[in-house]
Amino acid sequence: KAGVTQTPRYLIKTRGQQVTLSCSPISGHRSVSWYQQTPGQGLQFLFEYFSETQRNKGNFPGRFSGRQFSNSRSEMNVSTLELGDSALYLCASSYRGNIQYFGAGTRLSVL
Amino acid sequence: DQQVKQNSPSLSVQEGRISILNCDYTNSMFDYFLWYKKYPAEGPTFLISISSIKDKNEDGRFTVFLNKSAKHLSLHIVPSQPGDSAVYFCAANGEAGGTSYGKLTFGQGTILTVHP
C-alpha cells in the first residue's frame, strides 16, 4: 500500500505570495490532518478534513486554509506569506483520526 | 500552554541496553496516546499507541506504559539498536466536547542516540 504523498517536497517563496501544498492520503483513509513543524513551536495542528468537511481547526490565522476533494486528496493554502511561515508542513492520514500516518512533508522557505 | 511535555531533550544509551523515554501530559481529557519516531527530512513514523483503558501495550522491542493517575507515559525500547537513533515524539488525542477529530497534540521530542 502506498504511503502518504506530499508535493512538492521543497518550496521557496517570497513574502506576500501565496502557496498551495498537496497531500494524497493512504488509499481508504478519509481523514487528513495538517501540521506545521518549526524549531520553536514544534509540531502544531492546523486542521483536519474528513469526507470533504473540515471537522477541526487549530489556532492559526485565516491565511491558512485547506480543502479536501472527493477522492480524499487534500490541499493546504497559505496566503500573504510571512517570514514566520517558513516551516515543515506535514500531512497525515488516518482511517478514523487517531493513528495517523505522515508524509515526508513540504519544506517551505519564505524569503 | 504545553499540554504534552517531554522534559528530556536528549538521551544517550549504549547498544543492547534499555532506552526509556518519558512524557507527561496535563489535559485529563486525553484518552489515546501515541509514540512516533522521526528522522531528519522525513515525516514522523508511527511506532506504538495505547488507549487510556490500558496501562501497557507491547509491540516487539517497544513497550508503552501509561500511568493515568500521574498523567505520565513512557516508551521502553529493549534492546536498543543504533538504528533507533532518531527524535521520538509522544502525542495525545481526545479533548472535551468531542472536538478532537484528527488532532494530535505533540510533545517537543527527545533525541535518542544509541551508541554501538
pLDDT tens digits, one per residue of B18-60: 999 999 999 998 989 999 999 988 899 999 999 999 999 999 9
The arithmetic mean of pLDDT across residues B69-89, rounded, is 97
Q: How far is A84 from chain B (nearest CA, A)?
A: 19
What's residue B97's pLDDT?
47
Q: What is the mean pLDDT of chain A?
A: 94
Q: Is the pLDDT of residue A10 over 80?
A: yes
The arithmetic mean of pLDDT across residues A17-30, rounded, is 96
How many of the other CB atoms lie within 10 Å of CB of A46?
22
**Residues from chain A contacting residue B91 (CB–CB below 8 Å):** 43
What's residue B41's pLDDT?
81
Tens digit of each residue's pLDDT (9 = 90 or more) over A45-77: 999 999 999 999 999 999 999 999 999 999 999
Q: Is the pLDDT of residue B98 over 80?
A: no
Q: What is the mean pLDDT of chain B?
A: 93
Do residues B92 and B4 touch, judged by C-beta distance below 8 A? yes
pLDDT classification of B102: cutoffs 50, 70, 90? confident
Cβ–Cβ contact B43 with A under 8 A = yes
B107/A56 Cβ within 8 A: no
pLDDT classification of A101: cutoffs 50, 70, 90? very high
Q: Which of A17-21, A98-102, B92-96, B101-105 has the lowest mean pLDDT?
A: B92-96
Do residues B103 and B93 touch, judged by C-beta distance below 8 A? yes
A43/B89 Cβ within 8 A: yes
Q: Is the pLDDT of residue A36 over 90?
A: yes
What's residue B40's pLDDT?
85
